[in-house]
Amino acid sequence: MTNGGFVQIPNGCVAELATYKEQGVLDYEDNPIIEALPPILDMGEVIDALTLYPKYHPNERKSDDKYKLHLVRRLGRYFQPTTKHIELEQRISVCIRQGYISRNPLGKLHALRLQKGNKALKEKEGITSVFGDIRNTGNGFAIIGTSGMGKTTSVERVLSMYPKVIIHHEYKGTPLSLYQVTYLKLDCPYDGASLKGLCISFFLKMDELLGTNYSHKVVARRISVEEMLKYMVQIASNHCLGVLIIDEVQHLHSAAQGGADKMLNFFVTLVNTIGIPVILIGTQRALGSLQSQFRQARRSAGQGDMVWDRMNKDEEWDTIMELMWEYQWTKAVTPYTDQISSVLYEESQGITDIAVKLYMLAQIRVISSSLEKITPDLIRKVGRENLRLVQPFLQALRNGDIESLTKFDDIRPVDIESYIQNKLSELDKKSVIRLHKEALKKKQESERENILEELIIRLISMGVSDSDAKKAAKEAISELGIEVSINELARKAGENAFTNSRQKSAEIKKKKLNQKETIKDENDLRYVILKKNQEITAYDALKEAGYILDPFQELA
């Protein structure tokens, strides 16, 4: 069913109808599967797209405690991108587009690839032998880091900027019937070696997106894993799969001898034969497995790995924590200080997800008890009491205890220098911080305008003129700020409007008196009116002075 630029695929997902946009890069011109992607974003646009600010109003601090215990959970949705997220978005943006260069569906190479894929299925030929002479532009990279650092969440956040499926019908007058799948994310099988399990997961995911029945058609045939891989390659080619993401790659560590190499070799095949970029996500345990052919393949493509480490205690940390600190539902406001910043870092060890949870727990403790404010000691206390499962990891990080860290699956950060080649240019942190602060300023200005508008509407409904209502409302906000309740501001604005009205009346009266004093000519009609008793009308004053005749005398 069509709804604007979107279509609900029967038994599948909501797909986007292709609209073609210039990408600003010569290599991407006249390629419909690239031009159908969203525009390439600059740093500010990436921050705007990735940032998530939950709803919040300072007046919510006056709500009943039972409600505030619900409101504080909004913090779980808070997301502020760091320089690492900006780099990740750039990498994925380049990865997808570069992989599509050699897979233009209107080009001869694409048709040749599909023909060879069908040939491989029919003649039982190996994938590599069939595709070996086709040039490809795809490559990939690995994301390695401690569990709980937000690798998977961050990747999914970036991928959400892309439509899952794009439907093409025509490109520049040329018919094009294509259901393009921009990305697919799978989890590495738990045993680390089940290629069959990986293939079945692939077919099921494609069925979820496209409403197809690939999983039943392929699995029901009871074919070998090698044949399944061929079908997987062909389906990926048919739907111009943009990038394949494999999560939990550390499971390869558990594979039987030769199993990890077998799976990694298949990923290399996807990259080298049909040009589909592959992104691997895993913890430090995956490093041993990645010392094999997949790393060699990525190195030859000039693509380096990305190590997802904890944040440093620097200005960027403080900016992100200070933005988070605005979401405060305790009765008494606790300001963000250097001491708070240091304690949050010490207790979270620079893991933002843990820092957010600490802040939530501290607020819940204050709200549900007789405590007045959030203190550094309270943050330490809730961390020790409520995050017991992660305390051994955090303690090992604090102490720099290498021996203890090696016992844990995913704590010790790795030396990124040996894994990163041709790293993306370092982002200017000051620019990112400046953009964060501008976003905060815009948010505050927007709140102020909304409150001002509501005050003006209330005053106008009470009979105050537009100009007087605007003046009184601005004065109320200037005097009380926007932290108080809207009703308190409205009362103050009403008082201001009344006071202003009285002052205005007094000024008019004074002006009339001044006018009376300045009119000296006795023949001036205004002089006659102003000199007479204020209790008679202007008509009677003029009549008494002889300027108006008595109509009854005229009739006599």
**Is pLDDT of 130 > 60?**
no
CA angle 141, 410, 359 (to 5 degrees): 105
Q: Are residues 510 and 521 in the same domain?
A: no
Mean pLDDT of the chain: 79
When divided into structural domains, the chain yields a total of 4
Q: Are residues 145 and 35 in the same domain?
A: yes
Mean pLDDT is lowest, of 23-32, 341-350, 486-495, for 486-495
The set of residues, in sequence order, having a beta carbon less than 8 Å from that of 487 and lying 6+ positions away, is: none
Q: Are residues 472 and 492 in the same domain?
A: yes
Where in the sequence is the domain holding 294, given as residue range(s)? 6-45+81-307
Q: Which residues pair with 8 in a beta bridge?
A: 14
Give the integer Cα–Cα distance in Å for 122 and 524. Answer: 113
Give the integer Cα–Cα distance in Å for 168 and 180. Answer: 8
pLDDT in tens, 13-46: 999 999 999 999 999 999 999 999 999 999 999 9
Q: Is residue 347 part of a domain?
A: yes
> What percent of the chain is modeled with pLDDT above 90?
34
pLDDT in tens, 189-227: 776 557 788 888 999 999 999 999 998 888 777 788 888
List, as one string, the DSSP characters of 223-252.
Answer: --HHHHHHHHHHHHHHTT--EEEEE-GGGG
Q: Are residues 535 and 495 in the same domain?
A: no
pLDDT of residue 14: 94
Q: Are residues 34 and 149 in the same domain?
A: yes
Give the integer Cα–Cα distance in Å for 158 and 92. Answer: 8
pTM of the entire structure?
A: 0.68
Nearest to 344, CA basis, from 320, 379, 315, 377? 379
Q: Is residue 27 part of a domain?
A: yes
Measured in whole angstroms, the distance separating CA 288 from the mean position of its chain's CA atoms is 33
Nearest to 86, CA basis, from 316, 300, 279? 316
Phi, psi of 140 (to 5 degrees): -150, -170
List, as one string, the DSSP characters of 455-519.
Answer: HHHHHHHTT--HHHHHHHHHHHHHHH-SSS-HHHHHHHHHHHHHHHHHHHHHHHHHHHHHHHHH-
**Is pLDDT of 298 > 60?**
no
Position 183, amino acid: Y
Q: Are residues 328 and 213 in the same domain?
A: no
Q: Are residues 112 and 209 in the same domain?
A: yes
Mean pLDDT is lowest, of 146-160, 314-328, 331-345, 494-508, for 494-508
pLDDT in tens, 375-412: 999 999 988 888 887 888 788 778 876 566 545 554 43
Q: Are residues 409 and 452 in the same domain?
A: no
Q: Are residues 214 and 338 in the same domain?
A: no
